[in-house]
Each structure stands twice: as structure tokens, then as C-alpha cells.
Amino acid sequence: MKKQSGFLIKILTAVAVAIIALTVFVTTFTILRVHRSLLDSMYNQLNKAYNGTSYLFDIYKRNALGFAKDIAVNPDLVAAAKARDHEALFAITTPLVENAGLEYMVITDDEGFVIIRTHQPGVIPAPDDSIANQMNIQHALKGEPYVTVEQGKVVFLSVRAGAPIRDENGTIIGACSTGYVLSEDTIAYDIKNTFDIECTLYLEDAIVASTFDLEDGSSLSDYTDEAESLYTRVKAGETVNAITYIGEESYLTAIGPLYGAGDEVVGMIEVAMNERMLTSEINAMVMRLVFGAVAIAAVILLITLGVFHRLLAPVSEIGRRLIEVAGGDLSGEALTVKSNDEIGALSRAGNEMQEKLRSLVADVVMTASRVATASEELDASAQQMEQRTWDITAKIREISSEVDKITSEGGDYGKVSTSLNDTKETFLIMSETMTEISRAANELSVLAGELNDSTQSFKL
């Protein structure tokens, strides 16, 4: 029983090792595939977020241009701009900026000199404060509403829209510039809240706004060793996937161009996800795989245990029966044959062996009994033979004594004749006894041959 239990343990151990090895292989393979899939999925999500950011910028541009055109035709604003009435302009533009959700507004004269900056209340610009070099102002002073992303004189980088201000005669007397500041973190956080990602905005490769807590004056080269090649590719119009490092954290990023006037790349938009999100996804997947594998392994082991227990039960019964047979007990009932497989064949062979042993033992017992009887008869015959031999010897001595008397004294010849007759009869009896001994010996020889034949069926 211990050996069978050991065999079962070996089988279960082998199955467990195979399951563990298969689980490790499948888990490793799955992790690698899923890691690649998750990485691609995250980069795809980042690329979509970049495209969404570009679309969001288009919305900012449309809003800024729409507000610029509407504000530029406000009669009160036209009159105040024509009169260069700073106080009136502040009073008119401040509520307009607040209501429209604009982040800045600039009113210029027809040469591009600043009259007021609404986002700098109470500040009167210097007479030489000009923004005529900005594309939105240049187009507006030509009578063309225009919007773009560009660098400014006070607002470092922004979405800028410009619209011409015309008097009652249609003469352009100035320009209205409105927009949203990119060089502050407001828009970056709008993008983060919209797409649930981190966002950094660049002027060329210098960081101007970010949802990360970065040092002022930082650039892309501070966070990746591939800054130069990345910026070159982005300038060429590519959206590039990369990994950047901020502190001890690594981020998966998509970096794409920020377009300005004339579709010229003036900077970059970077959207990022913490790589820990990928790690946490993989860890969660690994835990699911491990728990699933453990559950499957437990089920397989239980099934294997049940199957092998059922398979080994007949083998255990056969082993128990063989142990009984080896101990001389042939009285057991025949083993039950439940299948036609190897175990069934083994059960049938065990039954046949037991029946043959029973037959052999019966034959041996019978032959031994007959041998014992023949031996007893032979022994009795031998004793008779011995007694007759002693009788003959006595008669011979008696005859010899009578003959000596006859020779010396003239004894009785009749007595000698009687002794001779008695001796003759004794010899006849001895002959019969010898015949009986020969018969018994032949019978013993035959029984020995039968016993030998009974054992010939077993190869020793």
C-alpha cells in the first residue's frame, strides 16, 4: 500500500510540475504579449489624445476669432478706440473678456500700437508699444480676420485672433486681438481634465506650460536623451512616441507639432501617461493569471487524483491478493474484472494464476497422500520380508541341526522333511512379499512422475 501511495504521489507530483511549468510558460508568454498590446494601446490612446488636443486648439482658435470679430464691431468700442479713450475701453472690454471666457484682449490703433491691454487693467502702454509684428495684427490691419498660435510681446505664447476695427465709414482704425494663453498652465490643465492625461506645451523645445511640477526654463532635453532627434522629427510634422523621465517616474508620451502661422511648427504638444499605469495593469493581469492558474491546477489535480485513485484501486486489490497468495492463502474470491484494458487483463491473469495454484496444490496434496499410502504399504512389506528372512534363517538352522543329528545319531528324517516344507512355504511367502514391494515401488515411481508433471507447468 505504501508503494502504491508513493506511485500516486509521484504521478501527482509529475502532473503538478507539468502544470506549474505550463503555467509559467503561458503566463510569461501572455505577459509579454499583453505588455506589448497594452503598450500599443496606451500609445494609441496618447496619439488619440494628441489629436484631440489639436482639435481642442482648433476650438480655441474658432472661439477666439469669433469673439474678436464680434467685439471689433461693438459701436461703443469703435468710438472709444477712435478717441483713444483708455478709461472707456477698459470699461467696455473688461466685462466682454470675462463673459467670453477670454484670457486676454489687446486694442491697437491702425499702425499696430497698443492702446490698451485688458488683461493689464489700469496700465497705459508706452507710445512706442507696438505689436505690429504679430501675424494676427498684420492680417487684421489689412482687413482680414486671422487666428494662429504665436509668440507675443507680453503673453509669451498664445492662441491669437485678430479682427479689424472699422469706423462708421468702414475705415480701419485699429485691431482687436483676443485669445487664450498657452504659456500658462490653464490650457494644459484643461487638456489634462478633458483627456485624463498629463500635458506639456513647448515653444520650440522649451517648456512654457505643463501639468507637471517642472522647473522654470526647462526643456525637453532635461527629460530625455533623445530630445534633439525628437524635436527634429516633430518639426518635420511627425507625431513621435517616446519615454520621458521626470524625477524617478517614467512616462509614455506622444509628442506632436504645435502649428503656428502658415502651418509652421512653432512648438510641440506632449501628452503623457505614467508608466506605472502599464505596470499596474500588468500586475493586475498577472494576479488574475496566477489565481486562474492556481484554480485550474487545483481542479486538474483533483481530477487527476480521482482518476488515478479509480485506476489504481484495482491494482491495489490485485497487489493485496498477490500478497495473500504469497502467504499461502488461496481461498480468496476471484477478482472482479471491470474493464477490457491492461488492468482488466491483469485481473484475469491473477484469477487464472490463483486457479492454477489451487489445482496444483490439490494435485500435490492428492499425490502426496497416495505416496504416503504406498510408503506405508512398502514399509509393511519390508517388515514382512524381514520377518520371513528371520523365519527362513531359523528354519535353516533347525534343518542344519537335524541333519547333524541324523548324521551322528540317526535322527528323524520326517522332521527334517517337515522343516524343509515349512522353509519352502516361507520362500513362497517371501516371493509374494517381494512382488508386493516391487508393485509398491512402481506405484511410488508413477506418483513421483505425476508430481513432476504437476510442477512442470511452473518455470523455476
Could you please report the per-residue DSSP string of 314-351? HHHHHHHHHHHHHTT---SPPPP---SSHHHHHHHHHH
Tell me what the mean pLDDT of segment 76-94 comes to. Answer: 94
**Is 253 exposed, middle or buried (CB count within 10 Å of its CB: 0-12, 13-18, 19+)?**
buried
Q: b vs e for 214-223, b when ≥16 Cβ sit within 10 Å of the residue's Cβ?
A: beeebebeeb
pLDDT value, residue 258 = 92
CA dihedral 93, 99, 100, 106 (to 10 degrees): 20
**Is 4 exposed, middle or buried (CB count within 10 Å of its CB: 0-12, 13-18, 19+)?**
middle
Tell me what the mean pLDDT of segment 118-139 comes to. Answer: 92
pLDDT value, residue 1 = 44
* Least confident among 82-91, 229-238, 402-411: 402-411
Q: Which cell goes with 13?
A: 507530483
Assess contact for 53 and 271: CB atoms under 8 A: yes
pLDDT at position 195 over 70: yes
User: Cα dist. 161→57, 135, 177 in Å?
Assistant: 12, 9, 5
Pairwise CA distance, residues 331 & 375, whole Å: 30
Tell me what the mean pLDDT of segment 8-20 comes to. Answer: 74
The strand pairing partners of 207, in sequence order, are: 202
pLDDT at position 155 over 70: yes
Tell me what the mean pLDDT of segment 87-110 comes to. Answer: 93
Q: What is the pLDDT of residues 320-351, one digit of tens each?
A: 777 877 777 767 677 677 777 777 777 777 77
Q: b vs e for 102-128, b when ≥16 Cβ sit within 10 Å of the residue's Cβ?
A: bbbbbbbbeebbbbbbbbeeeeebeee
Pairwise CA distance, residues 18 & 297, whole Å: 10
Pairwise CA distance, residues 108 & 69, whole Å: 14
Q: What is the pLDDT of residues 428-450, one digit of tens each?
A: 666 666 676 666 667 666 666 66
pLDDT value, residue 397 = 66
pLDDT value, residue 448 = 63
Rg (CA), the chain: 61
- Give this prediction's pTM: 0.58
Pairwise CA distance, residues 243 & 237, whole Å: 19
Tell me what the mean pLDDT of segment 181-200 comes to. Answer: 89
**Is 169 exposed, middle or buried (CB count within 10 Å of its CB: 0-12, 13-18, 19+)?**
exposed
Hey, what domains does the chain have and what are their CATH numbers?
73-183 (3.30.450.20), 342-456 (1.10.287)
Q: What is the pLDDT of residues 213-263, one digit of tens each?
A: 876 667 777 777 777 888 889 999 999 988 888 877 888 889 999 998 888
